[in-house]
Amino acid sequence: PAFTWEVRANDRNYHVQFKKKFAFCLTKKKYAGNAIKTAKYNIFTFLPLNLYEQFHRMANVYFVFVILLQTFPEISTLPWYTLLFPLSCLLTIRGLRDLIDDVGRHQSDRNINSRPCEILSGKSFRWQKWRDICVGDIVRLHKESFVPADMLLLCSSEPSSLCYVETADIDGETNLKFRQALLVTHQELVSEESLATFDGEVTCEEPNSRMHSFTGTLEWRGETYSLDSERILLRGCKLRNTDVCYGLVIYAGFDSKIMRNCGKIKRKKTKLDRMMDRLVIIIFLVLLVTSLCLAIASGFWARMFQEKHSYLSALYKNTTPAQQAFFNFWGFTILLSIIIPMSMYITFEFIYLVNSFFINWDLEMYYAVKDIPAKARSTSLNDQLGQIEYIFSDKTGTLTQNMMSFKKCCINGTIYGTGPGHENKQPSGSGLTWSHHGEKKLDFCDATLLEAAWRDSDPVLREFLRLLALCHTVMVEEKGDQLVYQAASPDEEALVLAARNLGYVFLARTRDTITISELGKKRTYKVLAMLDFNSDRKRMSVLVRDPQGTIRLYTKGADTVILERLQRRGPNETFTEMALERFAEETLRTLCLASKEVSEVEYSKWSRRHREASVLLQDRTRELDKLYEEMEQNLQLLGATAIEDKLQDGVPETIQLLKLGNIKVWVLTGDKQETAMNIGYACKLLTDDMEILEEKEISSAPTIPSSHSEILEAYWVSNNNLSGSGEVLCSSRLSQPCPEALCHKKRAVIVSGDFLDKILHMGEVLKEKKGWLWRRLACCRATGPQEPGSLVEKAFVDLATSCQAVICCRVTPKQKALIVQLVKKHKKAITLAIGDGANDVNMIKTADIGVGISGLEGMQAVQCSDYALAQFSYLQRLLLVHGRWAYLRICKFLRYFFYKTFAGLMAQVWFAFHSGFTAQPLYEGWFLALYNIFYTSYPVLSMGLLEQDVSAKKSLEFPELYVIGQQDELFNYRVFGITLLHGVSTSLASFYIALWAFEDGIGSKVVGDYESFAVTVATSALLSVLVEIILDTKFWTVLSFLMVTASLLLFCLFSFLTQSIDAFRIAPAVFRFPEASRNALTDPYILLVVLLSLVVNTVPSLTVRLYRTITGKNTIQQNIRLKARQEPEPSVELRAHVPHGSFHRRSSYAFSHQEGYAGLITRGDSLRTGDTRRAT
């Protein structure tokens, strides 16, 4: 990267002078201010931008086109303003909805930008707001406050200018991380005066989205000091265990790394919305073709008529057949334009809104503990909740509660811990003198273990508890009579607290001693060495000399590394292994504890070599690791601990239900692989019979043929036409047949952020990687036009989507969004992202549906989400009940709206064949105007609001029902085609049965007139439509009944009002059908004709339904409904734990800890001597 970003401390004027181009010739400040703006609109851009977005909907463009046609009086059928009003209503409703959403974002921005902070101004610090911060400012932060911009740590109140931060909002990790200032700034910047005169210059890389890397230099007083990410505090971190720190702002506002990862707000459209846009175009083209055919026919008919009836030539002297055809074309276009009714879109919005209220009002998704209801923040995506195929979930705070508790342990062949349903009480009269140090709430309190600890008769138990109190990097402070522990990870804190509750209380530490209270007796141990934890060693040790002078090594770590370093394997060790297996089945996080006595001779030799290795300039880490390895041999096993990373309520059951509904859940987390895997097992995403594919199996060539390489080879065989050119991949090995057993094996993929980086930057990877898979992909380049990068992306997505579970760990916020983007791009699937922190915002914005959890990590995710829930478990109800119902309702609504429109209005086309192809309307103008608004819309509306195929309870009992939405079964081009044919056949029957009857001059009265004919066709079509809707309504309510009744009553009422003699007298041009309905519908023959039409239109529908029932051609829903009626109600239970598919026991080790804390303690950097705090 280019090192062109220069920051001068305390020099605002220097930064103001720099500009950069951003569009055409326009420039803006190079160094951004700290104010952020996530809202889409402002007071000036709202109207033009919102209208621009709204006219991306084809229907709106179509309506404007029709309104423009209506402005020409020669072809107009209705005044143009009668159409403009409903369109304006539609645009206003949608505009207001967007405005309300944006006002919420403005409010959120204002709250963040107005947070208080202390900025150095002149020679003193003044309280200002976050938005006032500029690059180059020096900011003072206090404990528990958020970091307002990316800053270089200059100094802090801690020894050696350490600073502890929590990055849960950025990467989801809950363990504390330490940052340390440069020695020179720590020593020199000791007062406000020295900070005010500080004039260092930082040169570093331009702003970027790489969260875990930073490279730069600080120049000050002629010296240059190198900077890395260990010196930087990122925006969004929280200051912990540090009273005060000072930082120099490097990147502000949108230049900060977290904002670079946030992504833009994207306008989300549902699958049905996009399909509707295409349908509008198709219908419009069909309408134009129909109008054109009818217009051409009208031209020929006019010429033929003029030739035949020359005595009427006076009527045609000012016009020609061609002109007539031209005007008739536009006349038919306007007449048929109501086939896409505006009322449908207004009703659409209303249905979406009410379905959103149903989500908000659902008490099953109300979290009473914190008084948080579910909230549909977006009202236009409900139907898409019924079509989700992939869920991308954050881990920390979304699946887990972010709380660790010590649950069980195994000591010397005995398992202690609370079993489900057992209530453990502290033994009365135990006389424990340490209890004043104890926790207010004991999460772990096994009476047997307490008594055993109190008796102090078991040396192994004593050593076990001593290890918990000694082998850690926890810092301790005394506040009053309470001890406050400051742990680098929640795991360590849980272990130290457990020891404290059992009488082994960690009291104090210095650079080379640890003081603990053992059952009330104070003992001080001399620390000889701390063998630090790291992710490769998977263990940490402490070498101590006890008060009697004995040297002991205490080690804790992963079972896989501790068990192979034991001196012997006896019955206790075997039993501990069985206990570990049991803990793993209960998905607890396990650690093995071991110790050994070290002789003085062995220690003195090892100590001398350790000192030599500590000062090496080259290969220091490797040499130290070798020495640690030597010391940590021939250990004696003490036991194992089991910690629970508490899941949110109902997470495993929810994931199980979603899997049964054919929804795949991917976990994307910033946490470590072990932790992510442990949670994967805990929430039943991973099971023991699954084969786990890790990066090395996916990307490198195995030296020995293994099942992994076979799996991938088999996988590539079945997908060897990836390039789309029909050529197979170039390796002959890939032509082998697919091993059957492997094809159907359950698999899970676990990858890291680094691996994803390689996939997403494939150009470089193809050069770097030498594995068999990458070579095969490289030789695909010639097989098709696709880029090799895109090919590898597709290969990875295809492999991942063929697996039952996918876990991505150590991923940045931007990578989370890119994974979602990859699945959307290559699978064309509907995706949902769920998270609770700022690190999930980009993913939530990128997915088709974004769900925010109102959790512990602030409200950033909720502010950017489409739906807000309090718990992950509410997702099952949101998708399987509300989502499925919304999809069902919208699909039925569309189907029947189109059906009733075609059924009622296609008769206009048939009438043209009998009216000389003139664009004369068949129906009365009022019937046309009111047909879609009053006569037929209410039953369809009630269906769109309340329709259910099965109850909420059954929806959750049979998650398989959800598949219908994923497969677009209820509304697609085939369904639309059938609806069109159904509507056309209804209109044909209604029209031609009436025409046939009228041609015979039926009736006792004189009803052979045009008005009576129109009324007969209209009534036949209307009743046919209502009966069809009645037949297909599955869920009858009082409202459904009222809506159908209201439609009929309104038809009678408006027919009476618009066809009264009085109205005709007042405005004969407007009310053209005086007494037409009364005249026609009081004639029994006409009523029989209407009944005949009704029977002819209804019998086919009934026949199809009957045929399907007899032949068993039911839909999935019908089959499940039948099954539900026949069987007693089954409950959805988690499947029993699957027996292990391999001979190897699965390790459930997980430990969220950062390397480096042991070094801080042994150097004394993190320990206070007297009062070393800076004056603030």
Alpha-carbon gap, residue 10 to 1045, rounded angstroms: 77
Q: Please say whether the beta carbons of 380 and 352 come within 8 A.
A: yes
Alpha-carbon gap, residue 489 to 509, rounded angstroms: 18
Q: Give buried/exposed letters for 47-83 (b at 16+ CB in 10 A, else e).
A: eeebeeebeebbbbebbeebbebbeeeebebbeeeeb
DSSP state of 931: I
Long-range contacts of 54-60 (CB under 8 A, 24+ apart): 54/91, 54/94, 54/95, 56/267, 57/273, 57/277, 58/276, 58/277, 58/278, 58/280, 58/281, 59/276, 59/277, 59/280, 59/340, 59/345, 60/87, 60/90, 60/91
Encoding tokens for residue 1105? Answer: 């339904």
DSSP state of 780: T
- HEC letters along 222-275: CEEEEECHHHEECCCCEEECCCEEEEEEEECHHHCHHHHCCCCCCCCCCHHHHH
End-to-end alpha-carbon separation of the chain, Å? 38
What residue spans of 950-1032 are helical by DSSP H? Answer: 952-957, 963-966, 973-999, 1010-1032
Encoding tokens for residue 119? Answer: 């900025």
For 867, 886, 893, 939, the CA distances from 946, given in Å and listed in that order, are: 21, 9, 11, 11
Pairing of strands 201-204, 216-220: antiparallel
Alpha-carbon gap, residue 167 to 164, rounded angstroms: 10
Element (H, E) at 291: helix 271-308
C-alpha angle 431/436/438, rounded to 5°?
A: 95
- What type of residue sits at position 167? T
Nearest to 1135 by CA among 646, 579, 661, 652: 652
Q: Is 394 among the residues known to form the active site?
A: yes
Q: Which of 102, 255, 394, 532 is catalytic?
A: 394
Pairing of strands 664-668, 390-393: parallel
Alpha-carbon gap, residue 644 to 499, rounded angstroms: 16
Nearest to 639 by CA among 690, 593, 582: 593
- Phi and psi at residue 1036, in whole multiples of 5°? -90, 130
Nearest to 655 by CA among 479, 393, 899: 393
Alpha-carbon gap, residue 168 to 177, rounded angstroms: 10
Alpha-carbon gap, residue 1001 to 1013, rounded angstroms: 11
The label of the residue with tokens 């490279």 reads 215
Q: Which residues contact 62 (CB under 8 A, 6 or more apart)?
A: 280, 284, 340
Which residues have a catalytic role annotated? 394
